[in-house]
Structure 1
């Protein structure tokens, strides 16, 4: 069976959070995704250059696909060449009409709580801000959403937190652009289904996938706020395809790639023979 493994990077595959990484987990992950019937997609808020930096700095396996900029950019990697899927760009940009990212920012210029992120962290269809955690982000996001609606901009607001820098992150995307919609588009384009696709994440900008019909994994080091949301939805039987890593596989701790592996063998126990690295 062909399998599409989709994973977030920061604090999911990349061990750059506060929790410890199991020493052999990434080696196991490398071994698993090297199998010829497995395709790997990185699904991240990072841009293309930052994904490449992460791959080099953390010795990550080369993916087949990259969904970057929180779902607003999709690439197919062929012979180390990053081929941008421009059909996706055209599809999502319709939500912003004729407005560019720069023009969008002028509509929010008087909202002082929002500080534009660096130019290299912006995207073709992604407008990104820093927001101090001292502000009520739910109230602020509602204000921003209404402001954009006043000028007929259909937007998708993604909130997450950078634990290392202790700062809130806001990504404003076209309404039809998010990680879930991008993965769904990729699945259709590359002939994957819900039966052979799995996703792993840890934070707020993964929530749209975690609560979707896609088989999903929440790593053990995930934000407590996200764990609480998911556990509440599980109790209410509002989500059916979500596994929360517990650290119960191969004596690994369930954090980062260990959690990804734990979730994958939960959904696909037939893959256990591929994980033969001695630990």
Structure 2
């Protein structure tokens, strides 16, 4: 039995909470595919675990085997007997980048910087500091100032920026350098003993770009913003990973390529034998 790991972002990738239409009945088809014993399902999201659970309930999507949450800074495994178990191995992996520090120490170093607006307490965690960025903020200058402060703390960090179209607001997450969706997926692959040839990732937004343009086979759903599509296409070409990136087209398997339809289309592209699971 060939084992597969399917990793997917939630908002506007699996969850149909964007403006594009969803293919009728596609969530039932998705649920049937991920219920197969040879497939391991992981949700990779900027949401925290509570909001992931909320999405599972609200949209009736399957409970995954793994959750990589908080933009890659936390990882959980579903235990049939005990519920969600956080991976301490992952916490130890990323803690090395912020030696003896937490997001509260990083916040203190940023207090005098004008422009960023701290998100709510529920959006912060030990290894994730999250801000709103109003339109017009000079991202280049802001990053220079923040990175200088991080260097003083000897904190190796990732800067994850995305744009919330509905709120018309920038979103910025400061994380340990290795606390990215890409490294988290690679860590999970190693934990499960699976390689890139047995893994597929699906995403739609700017904070998915590092993994979309990596060597991990990835699908960009058809409803992704044109700017993200353009960036992914150009970056994968420059990195020589174009063959690992699939752009869902729609009109495949009687589906439109948006949301979970795009995920299934990409799965079949990289693993043609799975077409029988859908049809």
Alpha-carbon deviation of 1:57? 0.5
Q: Residue in 2 aligned with 1:33?
A: 34
Length, aligned pairs only: 276
Pairing partner for 2:189 from 179, 187, 192: 187
Alpha-carbon deviation of 1:234? 4.7
1:76 to 2:77 alignment: yes
Describe the shift of the 1:235–1:66 C-alpha distance in structure 2 as closer, same or farther (beyond 3 A).
closer
Contact kept in structure 2, 1:66 and 1:75, CA below 8 Å: yes
Contact kept in structure 1, 2:12 and 2:259, CA below 8 Å: yes
CA offset digits 1:175-215 (Å, max 9, x no partner)? 11100101111111111111111000011111111111110
Instruction: Report the secondary structure of 1:70's partner residue.
Output: helix
Q: Could you say what the CA RMSD is over the residues aligned between the two structures, in angstroms?
A: 1.4
Q: Residue in 2 aligned with 1:265?
A: 268
Instruction: Report the secondary structure of 1:5's partner residue.
Output: strand
Q: Residue in 2 aligned with 1:59?
A: 60
Q: Residue in 1 aligned with 2:247?
A: 244
Describe the shift of the 1:186–1:61 C-alpha distance in structure 2 as closer, same or farther (beyond 3 A).
same
Instruction: Report the secondary structure of 1:11's partner residue.
Output: coil
Deviates more, 1:131-140 or 1:230-239: 230-239
CA offset digits 1:78-107 (Å, max 9, x no partner)? 116101010110121121111221111011
Instruction: Report the secondary structure of 2:142's partner residue.
Output: helix
Alpha-carbon deviation of 1:225? 1.8
Alpha-carbon deviation of 1:235? 4.6
Pairing partner for 1:111 from 113, 120, 126: 113
- 1:91-130 alignment to 2 at 5 Å? 91-130=93-132
Contact kept in structure 2, 1:71 and 1:177, CA below 8 Å: yes
Moved over 4 A (4+): 234-237
CA distance in 1, matches of 2:239, 2:79: 41
Alpha-carbon deviation of 1:273? 1.0
List gaps (5 residues or longer) in structure 1. none
List gaps (5 residues or longer) in structure 2. none
CA offset digits 1:51-83 (Å, max 9, x no partner)? 000110111101000000111101110116101
Contact kept in structure 2, 1:116 and 1:129, CA below 8 Å: yes
Instruction: Report the secondary structure of 2:110's partner residue.
Output: coil
Q: Residue in 2 aligned with 1:206?
A: 208
Contact kept in structure 2, 1:202 and 1:226, CA below 8 Å: yes
Instruction: Report the secondary structure of 1:220's partner residue.
Output: coil
CA distance in 2, matches of 1:273, 1:191: 25
- TM-score (normalised: structure 2): 0.95
CA offset digits 1:118-151 (Å, max 9, x no partner)? 1111122111111112223343223322221122
